[in-house]
Structure 1
């Protein structure tokens, strides 16, 4: 994809991978708008990057998504790139926990799954009107090989991987590309929030700056499924060599 000349909206853009991508695209001269729930974090990120803008945007709220999409497409008619990055992660142990933490499960589903569906649907009417547009869905290497202490999170990312494949196929005759960015374990707030799980054997978190550099290099290609660094190992171990051919066979009549 073209990494310059874009008007970009990034959910979860105030910190972590979202902020890293926002700053990288901003440095390339793109118009970048970040969204998230924490206004103070968004404001600080925008202030550190003059020209970047922000909007309070809750990916778990249908009302916030609808209102935000309407405002952004009105204020930025050239908007042509949406990055679904917002996400949450919680541990669940069905072997030891007496009850299911409904609130944590609901937040993972609302943000990681429904947020991606709703944001994509809200912006697609506008994106279809652009000469060229892109939706980037940020998943995880754990979409392909799950880490069992995060069973719901991994399943939500597997959902987004599958959804990205279907959406890409549905939009194949429309100038809206669907790209899946597949991070490995990255040093972010998401990882730091659960320090007791810092020891994952041979797996070590990738410095955020290194991940962003690799992501931007991959995004500049024509690829549509982009595992970065160690995510290749998790991705490739689960994807059969003939997967693309089988997908084409299953969907040949649709």
Structure 2
């Protein structure tokens, strides 16, 4: 991926990893479009980063995605990079099926169907570009699930699988597919306490390491910072060690109820 001279769309671009990526790509000389559900958050990000363009987008709503796709292609015909960063992560107590189901519905719609629908809206345009990139955002938890958030982890495992298939199907086109798999990062994805949790990777460190990988490895397919590799490659240690890791990892996490 050429990290400069692009028109970059980042969903969930008003906060957390999305905002940090938006700022990093803008600093590299890209035109950045940030999309999200909360207009105030988008406006605050643009106020702090003049030159960015905000567009409201609800990743749970198929009609919002369809109309957004038409709007962004018309207004920004040079769009050639899409980063599917928008996501939600909610604890679920599977012993309370009614409550868990509501969280699961929203998580699947946002984290999995959202990127699939947005790709359907934008792929015809992207394939016309001389060079284009789709970046999906999975998670280390797509490889070692956190039982506290089962549907989130399932959607991230699905995004990894989907990214592989998408990459294969686009192999003879001008569109490359890159997967970014973050570790536990200091954002507010699971609440304000996460942003200062010493167990989490500082956001700026994560962004700097990820951007350096993109700069120095132009053909990279998976962007993996060092702190996510124990999760990403846990299965390579064999079933017994994987199961032990899974147990210790989840025993250290809070219960969903």
TM-score, scaled relative to structure 1: 0.88
Q: Where does residue 20 of structure 2 map in the other structure?
A: 20
The two structures, once aligned, show a CA RMSD in angstroms of 1.7
* Displacement after TM superposition at 1:113 (Å): 0.7
Q: Where does residue 56 of structure 1 map in the other structure?
A: 56
Q: Secondary structure at the match of 1:172?
A: coil
Instruction: Decide whether the 8 Å contact of 2:163 with 2:177 is kept in 1.
Output: yes
* Displacement after TM superposition at 1:230 (Å): 1.3
Q: Where does residue 224 of structure 2 map in the other structure?
A: 227
Instruction: Decide whether the 8 Å contact of 1:164 with 1:178 is kept in 2.
Output: yes
* Displacement after TM superposition at 1:191 (Å): 3.4
Q: Where does residue 233 of structure 2 map in the other structure?
A: 236
Structure with a larger share of its residues in helix = 2
Deviates most, 210-219 or 37-46: 210-219
Q: Please tell me whether residue 208 in structure 1 is matched to residue 203 in structure 2.
A: yes
* Displacement after TM superposition at 1:98 (Å): 5.7
> Please, which runs of 5 or more residues in structure 2 have no aligned partner?
239-257
CA distance in 2, matches of 1:24, 1:77: 22
Matches within 5 A, 1:60-75: 60-75=60-75
Instruction: Decide whether the 8 Å contact of 2:93 with 2:100 is kept in 1.
Output: no
CA distance in 2, matches of 1:155, 1:89: 11
Matches within 5 A, 1:1-254: 1-94=1-94, 96-97=95-96, 99-193=98-192, 204-220=199-215, 221=217, 222-238=219-235
After superposition, the Cα gap between the structure-2 partners of 1:232 and 1:124, relative to the gap in structure 1 and judged at 3 Å, is same
After superposition, the Cα gap between the structure-2 partners of 1:131 and 1:239, relative to the gap in structure 1 and judged at 3 Å, is farther
* Displacement after TM superposition at 1:101 (Å): 2.7
Instruction: Decide whether the 8 Å contact of 1:141 with 1:227 is kept in 2.
Output: no
CA distance in 2, matches of 1:18, 1:174: 27
Q: Secondary structure at the match of 1:189?
A: coil
Q: Secondary structure at the match of 1:177?
A: strand
Instruction: Decide whether the 8 Å contact of 1:4 with 1:29 is kept in 2.
Output: yes
Instruction: Decide whether the 8 Å contact of 2:90 with 2:190 is kept in 1.
Output: no
CA distance in 2, matches of 1:45, 1:100: 33
Q: Deviations over 1:101-125 (max 9, x none)?
A: 3221111000001001001111100
